[in-house]
Amino acid sequence: MGKNRAWWLLVFCNLFWAGNYVFGKYVVSEMSPLWLTFSRWVLALVILIPLAQLLEKPDWKQAAKAWLPLSLMGLLGVIGFNVLLYSSLEHTSATNAALVTALNPVVIVLFSVIFLREKVSRIQASGFVLSLLGVLVILTRGHVTQVFQIQYNQGDLLVLGCVLVWTLYSIIGKRVKGVPPVTATAVSTTLATVMMLPFALAQGIDFSAISPLALSGILYIVLFPSICSFVFWNVSVRAVGASQAGITLNLIPVFTAMISAVLGEVITQAQVWGGLLVFIGVTFASGFVEQQWKRKKQSAAELPGK
């Protein structure tokens, strides 16, 4: 896959995940974090497994040989991240959750440089700084210094756990070889649901108490954050690297603000300017600007008289 297409997939990936914050906040008031995680992935598998067979026609025996890293991906990305996120939304706001999640690119870059020996250019680093600054402008309503005055509660600490497990998930996903991305998502999800099954049965659930609004939220979470985002993420990480893909996670707070506007909330100037900074930063971080600059420099060097 070309890098340009991978960047577009990452944009949609983060748009869908932003919706997960909004709908997850509603659904978790009627369903436990464990059951929300378990039900979304059981339903997602109905689509993921046939999709993997249709698109990739994988060698399932080869996938079975990679059971250990795929099990870790299921434990971290499917179970750990989602249970921690939904648990955090019981105690903190979506804004605070998005603010803490904005630390993800920093941690992914750090881990990728240390463990994967990935390199980040100065232009890409400046893009990361711009995008992170944009997130801070949005979440602090233009008062960036307030980020140091926020009182973190139990929910905020749980989101810090989300940052760590998603970083590890991304690093492991980069190292999985010989298993196509959709197949890797399907297999890791299957292993994760098997791990969750005894705990879900022990906890139990009253489906009759779930409202139509919550059911609509679950349907969205199954189709978009569960299936599309995970597939898009795994495909893109292999194309552009974990550190660069991680930078686009700064788009989640931007898209969260946009979804909130559709639901009737007013968009402030801080959100507009912060959003612009994020998009400019992601453009720099993606390497697009650097590529264009190199092409222009090369073209100039090839002109007569040079």
The pLDDT value recorded for residue 290 is: 62
Residue 250 lies in a domain: yes
- In a domain, residue 242? The reply is yes
165 within domain boundaries:
yes
- Low pLDDT (below 70) residues in the chain: 1, 95, 99, 102-103, 106, 116, 147, 149-153, 243, 265, 286-306
Residue 306 pLDDT: 44
The two three-digit tokens of residue 258, written as one number:
């946009």
Tell me the per-residue pLDDT of 98-108, one tens digit each, with 9 for 90 and over.
Answer: 767 766 776 77
Whether 83 is covered by a domain: the verdict is yes
Task: Give pLDDT, residue 213.
Answer: 87
The answer to whether residue 253 is domain-embedded is yes
Report d(CA 263, CA 79) in Å as an integer.
29
Within-domain flag for 306: no
Residue 19 within a domain: yes
Q: Which residues contact 116 (CB under 8 A, 6 or more apart)?
A: 171, 174, 175, 241, 242, 243
Q: Provide the domain count of the chain.
A: 1
**Taking Cα atoms as reference points, which of 41, 36, 107, 35 lies closest to residue 78?**
41
Residue 23 lies in a domain: yes
**DSSP codes joined into one string, 242-279:** HHHHHHGGGHHHHHHHHHHHHTTPPPPHHHHHHHHHHH
Instruction: Report the distance separating Cα 188 and Cα 11, nearest Å.
Output: 23
| Range of the structural domain that residue 62 is part of | 3-301
| pTM exceeding the 0.85 threshold for the entire prediction | no
Q: What is the pLDDT of residue 287?
A: 63
